Amino acid sequence: MRTELDLEKVVSELYAPLYRFALALSRNEPQAADLTQETFLILAKQHAQVRDITKIKSWLFTTLRREFLRGLRSQSSHPEVELQPEHQDELVADSGVLQASDAATVLEALAGVDESYRTVLELFYLADLSYKEIAASLDIPIGTVMSRLSRGKEQLRTLLAKTTPRDKIFPRPE
Amino acid sequence: MNSDAAKEILSAYRSSDRDGADPIFQEALSLMESDSELKKWFEEQHAIDRTIREKLAAIEPPADLQAKILARIRGEKVRRFALPPIWLAAAACLLLGGLAVFYSDRGGPDRFQEFKSDALAMVSAEGGPALDLWTPKLSEAETYLRDHQAPYDEALPTRLKSMETAGCRAFVWNQYPASLTCFRLGNGMLLHLVVINRKAIGDSNIPDGIKSMGDWHVMFQQKDGMLMMWASQAPMEKLKEMLVAALGAAQTRAAEEKITQRRFPKSLKL
């Protein structure tokens, strides 16, 4: 039996994580707010066609990403960040380094991860989707999700080590 | 399974409550018991994941985002109601045509009384009227109403324009788009303005002056093809003061008509 979807409850529970996901994609606050609104509007128009409401969260994040890509067209707003593998080991952030960083720093580092890994990471950290949901959302095999997560996390830690203001962690003597 | 393969699998692990029961993680988690290096790596990785999630969760969405989303969703519901499927619209046209013929010989129902009763029921709802958009800014309310093709008075007097609003609502009454805008008068009192196309009430006569209906004071105004209903529970003098600003003194002489029979229907035709 089909359960009715409580749209307002869905909005209340998911608008904040969706906005954060949109912000990570667009890196623009007004655009993130617009994307979030548009995604819920699509849900409001199409919710009668949503067969399984337990998958609504995954549907929303997938739809938001699709809308973002549709708007993006051919332009690329995510510049490639060149990694330097030979220094990777010494740059990998530990949890102490990470504690000193803020949300903006994490977002900035996330934006610098290679695109193929970044999308998986965003769905993992911001949408809190399982590897199966990520695989379904991106239409890629489960094994690919796992390997991209593994490599993407490594890149992210490297970038966090680069971007974290180290003065905050190791204050310079006066 | 070797340590590297286990690390790759465990990269996708979120927490025991969400992924603990998933068999794909079981072997990797078991291997951790006999591989201290893997266990150390996993604990560190897990701590970093948790911290990253906490950092990202600290990003606050704009304060009004939830309200905007809800307003757009409600607006979509109103729009969908206002645009029925073609076959339903055709059936409605046939029915309305039949009713028009039926009533043409009998003087027709008093659409004005129906509208007045329904609008009063809406604004006098317990806890206040349901609004699509809560905003203190009249400009935002007007933008919302314009976006939802609801009629509103674009030329309100300066005094009303400078007043804070509670918000607005776009709705459909008898297939005519309509709007409600609520102004804050102070002391918790509101002044409601309901706007609809004049054609919605047909040829019904519209009374002059301020009417008292129970606890409510109501006044109607025709302007640019629109019918506007002002309603408030504020004291008559306060209301007159506001409405003089809106309409001019000539139109606001109080009729002091007492309507003893209060007829508020339970639901609006939304």
A45 domain residue, yes or no: yes
Average pLDDT over every residue of B250-259:
42
Mark whether A108 and A148 lie in a shared domain.
Answer: yes
A2 domain residue, yes or no: no
Residue B141 confidence (pLDDT)? 93
A125 domain residue, yes or no: yes
Closest chain A C-alpha to B251 CA, distance in angstroms: 43
Query: Domain B65-259 in CATH: superfamily?
Result: MucB/RseB, C-terminal domain (3.30.200.100)
Mark whether A17 and A55 lie in a shared domain.
Answer: yes
Q: Do B1 and B28 meet the contact criterion of CB atoms below 8 Å apart?
A: yes
Mark whether A67 and A112 lie in a shared domain.
Answer: no
User: Which of A46, A72, A98 is the last residue before a domain boundary?
Assistant: A72
Candidates A20, A44, A125; nearest CB to B76: A44
Task: Please report the DSSP string for chain A in residue order.
Answer: -PPPP-HHHHHHHHHHHHHHHHHHHH--HHHHHHHHHHHHHHHHHHGGG---GGGHHHHHHHHHHHHHHHHHTT---S------GGGHHHH---HHHHHT--HHHHHHHHHHS-HHHHHHHHHHHTS---HHHHHHHHT--HHHHHHHHHHHHHHHHHHHHHHS-HHHHSPPP-
B148 Cβ neighbours under 8 A, 6+ residues apart: B75, B78, B79, B132, B170, B177
First vs last C-alpha separation in chain B: 62
Mark whether A97 and A153 lie in a shared domain.
Answer: yes
pLDDT at position B258 over 70: no
User: Would you call A33 and B65 a contact, using CB atoms and an 8 Å cutoff?
Assistant: yes
Q: Do A21 and A134 meet the contact criterion of CB atoms below 8 Å apart?
A: no
Average pLDDT over every residue of B238-248:
69
Number of domains in chain A: 2
pLDDT at position B269 over 50: no
| Higher pLDDT pick, B95 / B4 | B4
Quote the CA–CA distance of A101 and A90 in Å, as a whole number: 18
pLDDT tens digits, B54-100: 889 989 899 888 888 888 887 765 554 454 455 555 655 555 555 44
pLDDT tens digits, B117-143: 888 888 887 667 888 888 899 999 999
Mark whether A59 and A15 lie in a shared domain.
Answer: yes
A169 domain residue, yes or no: no
Q: For residue A128, give the chain B residue with the closest CA.
A: B14
Mark whether A101 and A152 lie in a shared domain.
Answer: yes
Range of the domain at A45: 7-72
The domain segmentation of chain B, as residue ranges, is 3-57, 65-259
Interface residue ranges in chain B relative to chain A, Cβ cutoff 8 Å: 7-9, 11-12, 14, 18-19, 22, 24, 44-45, 47-49, 51-53, 55-62, 65-66, 68-70, 72-73, 76-77, 80
The CATH number linked to A94 is: 1.10.10.10
What per-residue string of b and e applies to A146-173 under the rule 16 or more CB within 10 Å gives b?
bbbbbbbbbbbbbbbbbbbeeeeeeeee
pLDDT at position B236 over 80: no
Mark whether A65 and A90 lie in a shared domain.
Answer: no
Residue B158 confidence (pLDDT)? 79
Residue A18 confidence (pLDDT)? 94
Residue B248 confidence (pLDDT)? 59
* Chain A hits for B12, Cβ within 8 Å: 124, 130-131, 145-146, 149
pLDDT tens digits, B143-187: 999 988 899 988 887 778 888 998 999 988 888 899 999 998 877
User: Which of A72, A103, A129 is the last residue before a domain boundary?
Assistant: A72
A79 domain residue, yes or no: no
ipTM here: 0.76
What is chain A's pLDDT, residue by residue, as a tens digit (174 residues)?
445 567 888 899 999 999 999 999 988 888 899 999 999 988 888 776 666 667 888 889 999 998 888 887 545 444 443 333 333 333 344 444 455 567 888 888 888 999 889 999 999 999 999 999 999 888 899 999 999 999 999 999 988 887 655 434 333 333
User: Which of A72, A99, A120 is the last residue before a domain boundary?
Assistant: A72
pLDDT tens digits, B7-51: 999 999 998 888 878 888 888 888 888 888 999 999 999 899 998
Residue B229 confidence (pLDDT)? 92
A58 Cβ neighbours under 8 A, 6+ residues apart: A127, A129, A133, A136, A137
Mark whether A157 and A94 lie in a shared domain.
Answer: yes
A136 domain residue, yes or no: yes
A170 domain residue, yes or no: no
* Chain B hits for A40, Cβ within 8 Å: 69, 72-73
